[in-house]
A and B are shown apart, each in its own frame.
Chain A
Amino acid sequence: MEFFHKLKPHHLDVLKEIGNIGAGHAATALSQILNQTIDMSVPAVRIVSFQDLPEQIGGADTEVAAIFLRIEGEAPGSIFYISQIKEAEKLIQRLTKDSHFQLEDPPFNELGISAFLEVGNILAGSYLSSLADFTNLLLQPSVPGFTVDMVGAILNYGLIPLSEVSDYAIVIDTEMMELGPEAGKIRGHFFLLPDPQSFNEIFTALGVKIP
């Protein structure tokens, strides 16, 4: 927790703005792919203990569909796009126009998975490029990974770099939701988990250094 004590409310506001800009661009990209309006929540920036993080998505046991990317470059970190299984199915069905696509019983249709990964690529790419523009930092996304599994097991992965310095994570969480005739059928959470050393980079780049 040590480091987080030094953060003032305006630091969290800066992170919120990052979530806002990043997710705003990602939502625009998603609405273009689906040709449907996508609404997003005001980003929540939370300092949460590792124990509590999975609880925010229904508990460590909850089964979800997730895309995971590492951010490489000057401010490394992890990005997750996490969706309920039914909602991810719906999204993939719409993208591939295959109403039989399912994520309950593997093996999954490969075309559907690669469509989902491509969405992950586009969302994370637009999130990151706006973040890079905003901060003037060099940031590149890794190739995305996909899995259907327990949320606790998935988040484990993104927490490892942070776990060396803390038992807490700063999570920038934005929820996206489809509007229109099938409102609410497609939604997901975008989580940005900066690595510990990245906070200094981000805050310095934006002129709000930590004392």
Chain B
Amino acid sequence: MSNVIKVAMADLNVVTAPDTIRTSGLGSCVGLVLYDDLRAIAGMAHIMLPSSSLSKQEKMNEAKYADTAIPALLTRLEKVGARSNSLKAKLAGGAQMFSFSTGNDLMRIGPRNVEAIKLKLGELGIPIVSEDVGGKNGRTIEFDPASKKLHIRTVNKGSVDI
């Protein structure tokens, strides 16, 4: 019997096979999956903002920002037996749901999230195997650590596995 572990907005979690891990309704947020290529272990973060320097909170939620969610996810993964040298990444999300001409930087947050995640993964030397980012559509994603497939569902555009 396998379960689906759910990851909420600005949240992260880890999973081992045969369970799968899923996050729903990614808009400008990015769903990042880090998985151990040799062991059936994976982690997922639902990242909202590119950098924790944007935070004006006293108590910060690490899972919300690209630069802090990735190290936090690594720590969680190592605790359940993943090795950092066999980790790989897949990501999806970062859409621009509405387009505005106001030039407000916050409205470009999707692409900025993707850039920040790639930068951090580059620093840590974690290769990106596949991605489905940008566009105008929301996504629901589910990762299966056994098959290492990331299943992506979009409204009106059907599903893909990457």
- Knowing A61-B25, A160-B106, A167-B61, the reply to whether A153 touches B138 (Cβ < 8 A) is yes
Of the residues A61, A70, A148, A156, contact of B29 by C-beta under 8 Å: A156
The answer to whether B95 and A153 have CB atoms under 8 Å apart is yes
B114 CB-CB contact with A under 8 Å: no
The answer to whether A150 and B24 have CB atoms under 8 Å apart is yes
The answer to whether A157 and B24 have CB atoms under 8 Å apart is no
A205 CB-CB contact with B under 8 Å: no
Q: Which of A109-150 contact B (CB under 8 A)?
A: 142-143, 145-150
Question: Which residues from chain A contact B99 at a C-beta distance below 8 Å?
Answer: 145
Question: Interface majority SS on A: helix, strand, loop or mixed?
Answer: mixed
The answer to whether A163 and B98 have CB atoms under 8 Å apart is no
A54, A68, A154, A164 — which one has the most chain B CB atoms within 10 A of its CB? A164
Question: Which residues from chain A contact B49 at a C-beta distance below 8 Å?
Answer: 160, 163-164
A166 CB-CB contact with B under 8 Å: yes
Question: Which residues from chain A contact B9 at a C-beta distance below 8 Å?
Answer: 50-51, 54, 60, 152, 156, 159
Cβ-Cβ contact count across A and B, 8 Å cutoff: 119
B10 CB-CB contact with A under 8 Å: yes
The answer to whether B155 and A149 have CB atoms under 8 Å apart is yes
Of the residues A54, A146, A165, contact of B57 by C-beta under 8 Å: A165
The answer to whether A50 and B8 have CB atoms under 8 Å apart is yes
The answer to whether A151 and B156 have CB atoms under 8 Å apart is no
- Knowing A51-B9, A51-B11, A142-B100, the reply to whether A167 touches B140 (Cβ < 8 A) is no
Contact with B along A41-71 (1 / 0, CB 8 A): 0000000001100100001110100001010
The answer to whether A147 and B140 have CB atoms under 8 Å apart is no
- Knowing A153-B25, A153-B97, A157-B27, the reply to whether A163 touches B139 (Cβ < 8 A) is no
A11 to B64, CA, bound (A): 28
Interface size on A, residues (CB 8 A): 37
A54, A68, A156 — which one has the most chain B CB atoms within 10 A of its CB? A156
A68 to B24, CA, bound (A): 20
Of the residues B55, B56, B97, contact of A147 by C-beta under 8 Å: B97
The answer to whether A167 and B101 have CB atoms under 8 Å apart is no
A63 to B155, CA, bound (A): 7
B16 CB-CB contact with A under 8 Å: no
The answer to whether B25 and A163 have CB atoms under 8 Å apart is no
Question: Which residues from chain B contact A59 at a C-beta distance below 8 Å?
Answer: 24
The answer to whether B58 and A2 have CB atoms under 8 Å apart is yes
**Minimum-distance CB pairs A-B, first 7:** A152-B25, A153-B138, A145-B98, A60-B25, A153-B27, A156-B27, A60-B24
Residue numbers of A with Cβ under 8 A of B are 2, 50-51, 54, 59-61, 63, 68, 70, 72, 105-106, 142-143, 145-157, 159-161, 163-167, 196
21 contacts between A and B (CB under 8 A): A50-B9, A60-B24, A60-B140, A70-B102, A72-B102, A105-B156, A145-B97, A145-B99, A145-B100, A150-B27, A150-B139, A152-B24, A152-B25, A153-B27, A155-B27, A156-B25, A160-B48, A163-B48, A164-B54, A164-B56, A167-B61
